[in-house]
Amino acid sequence: MRIRGARLIASSAVEALQIVAQDSSAKDKENFVTQLSDAARVLLETRPTAVSLPNGIRYVMHRVNAAKANATSVAEIRQVAIKAADDFVELTRTAVGRIGEIGAKRIRDGDVVLTHCNSSAAISVLTTAWKLGKKFETFVTETRPRFQGHLTAHALARAGIPVTLILDDAVRYFIQDVDTVLVGADAITANGALVNKVGTSMIALAAHEANVEVFVAAESYKFSPETMIGELVEIEERDPSEMISNQELRKIGRVKVRNPSFDLTPPKFIDLIITERGIIPPLGAMLVLQEVFGIVTPEELREYQTYRIDEA
Active-site residues, by number, are 117, 186
187 by DSSP, 3-state: which?
strand
- Among candidate residues 275, 303, 289, 279, the one with its CA nearest the CA of residue 98: 275
Q: Which residues lie across from 223 on neighbouring strands? A: 188
User: What is the Cα–Cα distance from 203 to 60, expressed in whole angstroms?
Assistant: 36
Would you tell me the crossing angle of helices 52-70 and 298-307 to the nearest 10 degrees? Answer: 80
Per-residue HEC secondary structure of 267-310 comes to HHHCCEEEECCEEECHHHHHHHHHHHHCCCCHHHHHHHHHHCCC
Sign of the C-alpha dihedral computed for residues 27, 15, 185 and 290 taken in this order: negative
Spatial distance between the Cα atoms of 233 and 249, rounded to a whole number of angstroms: 30
H helix runs in 24-161, sequence order: 29-44, 52-70, 74-104, 120-131, 148-158
Cβ atoms 77, 68 nearer than 8 A: yes
Angle of helix 52-70 relative to helix 6-23, nearest 10 degrees? 30
* 264: β partners: 195
